[in-house]
Amino acid sequence: MNNFYPNSQNQYSSQNNPQPISAIPQKKFGKKNLRIILALVIISIAIGVGFYVFLFNRFNPQSVSLKISGPEKIISTEEIEYNFNYQNNSKFPLNQAQLKVVYPQGSIIEDDYTKQASLERIYPLSNIAPHSINQGKIKFRLLGKKESSHLIKFELRYRPGKSEKTFVIKKESQIKIISVPIILTFDLPEQTVPAQNLSITAHYINNSDIDLKNLQIELSYPLGFTYNSAYPQPSSSNNLWIIKEVKAGQRGKIIINGSIDGQEGEIKNIYGKIELPDSANQLIKLTAASKTFKITLSPLSLQQTVNGEVSSIASLGNVLNFQVHYQNTSEEVLKNITIESHLSGTGFDFSTIQVESGFFDSAQQKIIWNSVSQPNLTSLNPGDEGTVSFSIKIKKTIPINNWSDKNLSVSCLTSINSENHPLSLQGTQIGSQVKTTIKLNSDLRIVAKGYYQDEIFSKSGPIPPKVNQSTTYTFHWYLFNSTNDLENIQVEAVLPSYMQWEHQVSPSNANIKYDSSRRRIIWQIDKIEPGVGFLKPPREVVFQLKFVPSITQVGSRVILLPRSCVKATDLFTDQNLENCANEIYSDLPDDPSIDFSKGIVQQ
């Protein structure tokens, strides 16, 4: 164009070339191009305007923001405040806005939005206007151990304008517990004596600014600890206390009484923890404590044996020989020593007690040795030792009056003490005690009876019995069991060659069989409960035998059923028990229809 000159072009055309026929169509094509170009320009402008309008009206999630702020380090149970602001820089209103908060485990939330046991809350927000900033705050408390970390999560949910799509902004924050104002401590001796009374005090303090509800204290006792009592009484088992309310600043204590067994020099440990439920009803551990103590010998030590054993098991009618060995293990002279043995249990037969150099106080059921009855107890030099003793029998029978009369035992608690406390032993427990418990075996008995005339089975054969003729007899086995559960019960009798098994048994489902190769009758029972034969009928089985006399037995009484013996395992004492019934002769002492003469074998 710049090089296009319109006049020179016209001269050249008129002089040298005639005007072509196509000159007029070329002029029309230029106008058409102009229209196309103009249309394209208009379309481009429209597209640009439309794209601008699209961009202008399109929602950008980046135009909405959520900021949260709160403490990074807190004290457990103190009130925590989190502030949040949410900003809408778009031209659209934000509808159905809500803030979802997932509180950390251990949170205590006090709000009106939900009463369910959950740590999740959804707080509705008013519609957020375009180009506006809104703010709010939440408050809660957090339970947990010292140095524990916790995470709180936030979600802002909304729908811009008329959109059906929900947009979410997520934030989270870390919280660390640097201190716990709930304190648990133990108060007990640094050293204690085996089997001696031991008092443990658990102190708890609420140093927080709020009242604590349903505080739970759980203790773990050391191995060998025997629980006796506690104040206040446990809420569950013997080691769990639920305290309904502990006010801010309040102190409390739990006193546990018991005893501990162990070897000299052994280290024992008691452990406890305090827990509190959060808003999800989950127990959160706040604090824990432990304390160790040492087992040591007391200045006056004791050792007690029964029939030469430290622990013992006895049967009815047994004699128990107690020996009490004492020694001064200190470096001081101890004077005016008293030893007392207190006996308890319905199984003792106190009329049989024999005491060597001591006095039995029958009113208090205790034996006393002191310097009056035992002169060497007047003074014990360092290392001095000695022995006192007594014996007593277990009753031959113990009345069984109700179902609670089971798993019986007797015990002897022996203590030693001195009237003087040398200065070097101030603060030290001089005396000691030892308790021996003797478990009593159940009274297992078998009774065997024989009859000619019996309502269970019909009789046959001559009475008195005659040579080479068969006579049938019916026998009953009865089992009695007094106080303990028994298992693996077996009754057995071996038949003589002249007696024959008749295969008649009642009840028919009884587990009784005859071993012909060894001529044994065997009755087996899996278990027998206490009180059988005392509070309820005895266990019974009935069977029939046949007797064919030999000529060598003429004129004599004959054993029809030899000794019948029962064996069983006592589940309370873990002992094997046995009892036998006497043999039954042909004169059948339990059958009133048979006298002595009718039991003599005839020709």
pLDDT, one tens digit per residue, over 424-461 is 887 677 888 889 999 999 999 999 999 999 999 999 99
Sign of CA pseudo-dihedral 239, 243, 249, 254: negative
SS3 253: strand
Dist CA 104 CA 151 (whole Å): 6
Amino acid making up residue 227: Y
Residue 187 CA to chain centroid, in angstroms?
26
Task: Name the residue with higher pLDDT: 352 or 6.
Answer: 352
- Contact between 204 and 250 under an 8 Å Cβ cutoff? The reply is no
Q: Among candidates 164, 29, 141, which has minimal Cα distance to 80?
A: 141
Scanning the structure block, which residue is given the tokens 């128990």? 320
Contact 151, 126 (CB under 8 A): no
pLDDT of residue 297: 80
What is the rounded CA–CA span in Å between residue 120 and residue 130?
A: 29
The predicted pLDDT at position 22 comes to 34
The answer to whether 472 touches 546, Cβ cutoff 8 Å, is yes
What is the CB neighbour count within 10 angstroms for residue 133? Answer: 13
Token pair for residue 238?
A: 């013997």
Contact between 268 and 198 (Cβ < 8 Å) = no
Quote the Cα angle for 269-270-274, to 5°: 145
Are residues 441 and 313 in contact, defined by beta-carbon separation less than 8 angstroms?
Answer: yes
Q: If DSSP codes are grouped into helix, strand and coil, which group holds residue 357?
A: coil
3-class SS shares of the chain: helix, strand, coil, % to 5: 10, 50, 40
Cα separation, 433 vs 412, whole angstroms: 10
Chain segment 504-559, per-residue pLDDT in tens: 999 999 999 999 999 999 999 999 999 999 999 999 999 999 999 999 999 999 99
Note whether 489 and 477 are within 8 A (CB).
no
CB 264 within 8 A of CB 295: yes
pLDDT at 26 over 80: no
Alpha carbons within 13 A on the beta-carbon side of 204: 27
- Which are the contacts of 132, defined by CB distance < 8 A and separation ≥ 6? 87, 88
* DSSP symbol at 40: H
Of the given ranges (28-42, 274-288, 351-365, 408-422), which has the lowest mean pLDDT?
28-42
Taking the whole predicted model, whether its pTM rises above 0.85 is answered as no
Phi, psi of 239 (to 5 degrees): -145, 15
- Segment 486-492 mean pLDDT: 98
Length of the chain: 603
At 397, is the secondary structure helix, strand, or coil?
coil
Dist CA 228 CA 191 (whole Å) = 19
pLDDT of 3 reads: 34
Cα 202-206-212 angle, rounded to 5 deg: 110
What average pLDDT does the structure give for the chain? Answer: 90
Q: What is the pLDDT of residue 18?
A: 37
pLDDT tens for each residue of 109-132: 987 765 567 899 999 999 999 999
Burial of 113 (0-12, 13-18, 19+ CB in 10 A): exposed
Q: Residue 368 in 3-state DSSP?
A: strand
Mean pLDDT is lowest, of 115-119, 126-130, 312-316, 348-352, for 115-119
Structure tokens at 291: 């304390």
Q: Residue 2: its pLDDT value, please?
A: 39
- Nearest residue to 68 via CA among 94, 96, 100: 100
